[in-house]
Structure 1
Amino acid sequence: MKVRREVLGDAHVDRAAPDEFTADFQEFITKYAWGEVWTRPGLDRRMRSAITLTALIARGHWEEFALHVKAAVRNGLSTEEIKEVLLQSAIYCGVPAANHAFAVARRVLREET
């Protein structure tokens, strides 16, 4: 939970507080995504954020993409680095997906600054 809060922020984690229906799923992602994968020593959080942005673009998960743009900034990626991730993603994920990613990221980054 510590890593999840550090990456996503307390406000998001508090909004995602589990209820009876979602408790098992929230425990699952906290344990495996945040407790097992995000804490592995092989990649730093900056790299994990860059990879996550690309994966979310590829799958079209725009709400989570916006959340992870904020997380990428929290993890130390600059606006310029996020732009480069999106440009790189255009080649492998498609121009329409990257176009939408730029629009979402621009909105999020403006809100953050």
Structure 2
Amino acid sequence: MELFKFDSTGPHEIQVTGLHDYNSVSISGITDCQGKVEDVFNLSESVYVYPIITKDKVFIHGIRSKTHVKVYDMAGRIIMEKDIGSDTNEILNLAAYGTGMYPIKITTRGNTETFKIIKQ
């Protein structure tokens, strides 16, 4: 575990590389009233999904082979479904949907990964 501490209110960036399997990121303020963001994400075969918290667009990068994407609402209904070709990146637009959490299932070569996206 590595801890980063910032003492100012300006913008900051932390870049992490070399991640494998399941990884956890937690961001919090000095007091609980400042809120806390915490999520677990899975990186496999270099496919990654970001941002975890969004107002509209979600980016999928690192697709190397034919991929199937399904986006669900919290009731488990499929609200978006796409087939994506190999060696491409994809943008999912959630602007038309309400606030909440949207699980995204990405299936490549028979392996399925689920990412949780929070729409504000």
TM-score, normalised via structure 2 length: 0.27
**Higher gyration radius (CA):** 2
More strand by share: 2
More helix by share: 1
Greater relative contact order: 1 or 2 (C-alpha under 8 angstroms, separation 6 or more)? Answer: 1
